[in-house]
Structure formats: structure tokens, C-alpha cells
Amino acid sequence: MKWQLLPFEELYLIPSRNGINRPSRMRGNGYKMINMGELFAYGRIRNPDMELVPLNSREIEEFGVETGDLLFARQSLIASGAGKCSIVVEVPEITVFEGHLIRVRLDQTKADPLFYYYFFSSHEGNGSIQSLVMQVAAAGIRGSELAKLPVPLPPIDIQRRIASILSAYDDLIENNNRRIALLEESMRLLYREWFVRLRFPGHEHVRVTDGLPEGWERKGIGDIVNESRDLVDPNEIEPDTPYVGLEHIPRKSISLSNWGKASDVASSKFRFHQDDILFGKIRPYFHKVVFAPVDGICSSDTIVYRASYPEFFGFALAVISSEDFVNFTSKTSKEGAKMPRANVTEMKMFPILFPKSEILREFIKIVVNLTKQISNLLFTNNKLSEARDLLLPRLMSGEIDVSWEGVLP
């Protein structure tokens, strides 16, 4: 089925625009601002942790986002990232968007925003976006060219049905993500209870001297993990090898749910293995720490930590993903030309209380069980994403007829 094509801007409610620019020295307080991190981490943006920026009433009016707004990556360090589209599905508080993004607000009487989010996620829609990408210092698109891009215009009821079918998969994925968040919180609370508050099993019967339980040791994190710097040329490995850039690592979550491919990048990257710990070293206060569910390669702006012994993995993950470790890293970071970078030498010195073997074994057993549950949920989400993505081109092309009620899930 062929639908009418028309310039994208004919569906706009208001003209598209680029976001607001705020230098790093002005960030930290104020109102939420969606940036590239949120765009790459979430297809459907609800209300995750974001940077805060000061705003006046005019800026809130001009750069505020609303439910249904589409956001496009205006620039990206990799060509496939330029033009990446996300949709704002929940705005519980004042939120704006940064200058590397383009906001498109559609006239919802004739254009369903979710339908067009899925269209630009499809091979056809993404391909049309990629035709606009300019290769300069960073790959990018212009809002003026995005406005002229031909897009299909099915009847509005057809748009809504297609969006509903595809959203059913994403609803299941988001439900699993909420379960993952609860598992992560369990690990964080357990770590603080046992190793910060020192309320570990049997603590009532253990003497604590100067904050050190009897039989425990004071160490540095560098005593239980090693930094891996195994450089690899992406052109010399399988093109489908997972590639993790900083844009793929979520904030304050240890779960890596999406990544690119080695074919997306050119310069040398670090190799990592399953259960390695990846730490984003640019602006460490962003708190980008995940464990790797697969083997792959990552940006050289990522620190790859590997447990000195496999049995240390769970404990090392809990320490490195903790607020205390991230705050320590932020305070000891090096000031770069544009943004702070984690100081790897200082990070190794982060003090830890290393427990007796029976406490360590019990803690690791719990954490490994939690990470296995997280990995299983991530695997389920990948399968749901694959099923959705198989349907996507068939729905967008009209191959699957959604004009009758029975097709709805």
C-alpha cells in the first residue's frame, strides 16, 4: 500500500527549532535539560535523571518540551547517530532540550507523533534521515533539510493503530526496565547496608576498631580490579561486533541495554569482555557505569575494569557503581580543555573495606544472582525489540493491513 508523501514540515504545529546552549560551568542547578545522553539511552523519554540548568521564563517558553514532541540528534560523533529520533512521552516537570537536538512538534489532528517516531526508527525512515547527514567534524543534519524530507501520510486512524501495535512491545520492554531498576536498587541498598553502615550478617558479634571490622582489610579499588587497555581496530573485527559509546551508557544504571556496531566507527577502540565494568571517564559526575552483558568494543573515553579474580566481580561492580566512588572520581578528575576527565591513577586509590571471605562470598552470591536476573531481562528485551523491528517495516510499508479491528494486539 502506497501512502501520500509530503514534506515533513507540512505536519508541523510550529516551526522546528534547535535547543538551548548552556556551558558546563552553568550546569548543576535549575530545570531538567534533555541532552544527547537521554536521546541515545531512551527511545521514549519519560522522566529520567538529567542535567539541571538555570532558565528564565522566556527560555522555558521557547525551549520547553511537551508530550508528543519529537527530538532529533542534530550532531553525532558517528554518522549513524546523526538524526536519531526519540519521542517525549511524559513531562511531569519543566524540561528543556539542549542545542545538539532539534525539536519537532506535530499537528496531532493529522499526525500521530508515535507513528512518526516509529517511522524514523524504521529502515526506510532512518535511511531518509541518513541521506541528509553531512560529514564534517561531527556528522550532522540541519532542521531546514529535515523539514523538507518527504514522509508518508496514512489516514490518522491507521497511524494510531500502527503506533498502538508497536507500542505494545515497548510497553513490555519498559515494564522489564522497571523490574531492572528495582534489582539495581536492591544491590545499591545491600552494598550500603553491609559496607558503609557495616550492618553485615553477624555484625553484632564483630569488634569494629576505627571503622574497620575485625578480620577485614583496608585496600584500594586497584587491589581488586585491573584496567584493561586492549586496543583494537574496528576494521579488523566482525562488523556486527557490539560497539559501546558513551552515548549508549545510561546514567545511574548498571544495565547496558543498547549499543551500536563496530562498522559504525573507524578509530581504535578498547576491547571488553562479558562482565567487565565500563566507566565513562568524560564528566564522571554523569555516573555512567555498566557491566557488560556481551563481548565487544568501546570508546577510548571509557575505562574498562576487569576483576582481578572472577569471584570479585560482584563486589567490584557494587563499589565502582556506588555514589561514593563516582563522587570520589569527580573530585579527583583532571580538568580537560572542555570538560573534566576521570583520573585513573587517583581512582585506583579509592579506599574500600575488604571483608572476610565468608562475608564476601555471601555478598557476591547475592549480587551475581541480581545481575543474572538483570541479564535475563535484558535478553528478553532484546527479543522483544527484534520482534518489534521485524514488524516495523511491514507495518510502515502497508504490507500488513491494519484497517480492521482484529489486527490489534
Question: Residue ranges of the domains in the chain?
Answer: 5-152, 217-354
Strand order in the sheet with 31-34: 51-53, 31-34, 95-97
**Topology agreement, domain 5-152 and domain 217-354:** yes
Secondary structure (DSSP) of 201-252: TTGGGS-EETTEETT-EEEEGGGTEEEE--EE-GGGS-TTSEEE-GGGSPTT
Dist CA 265 CA 288 (whole Å) = 21
Q: What nine digits make up the cell of 27?
A: 550546569
Per-residue model confidence as pLDDT tens for the chain (409 residues): 678 999 999 999 999 999 999 887 777 789 999 988 888 888 999 887 788 999 999 999 999 999 999 999 987 766 567 789 999 999 999 999 999 999 999 999 999 999 999 999 998 888 888 888 765 445 678 899 999 999 999 999 999 999 999 999 999 999 999 999 999 999 999 999 999 999 999 999 999 999 999 999 999 999 999 999 999 999 999 999 999 999 889 889 999 988 989 998 889 999 999 999 999 999 898 899 999 999 999 999 999 999 999 999 999 999 999 999 999 999 999 876 568 899 999 999 999 999 999 999 999 999 999 999 999 999 999 999 999 999 999 999 888 888 765 444 4
What architecture does CATH give domain 5-152?
Alpha-Beta Complex (3.90)
- Given 3.30.1360.200, 3.20.20.70, 3.40.50.261, 3.90.220.20, which CATH number is that of 217-354? 3.90.220.20
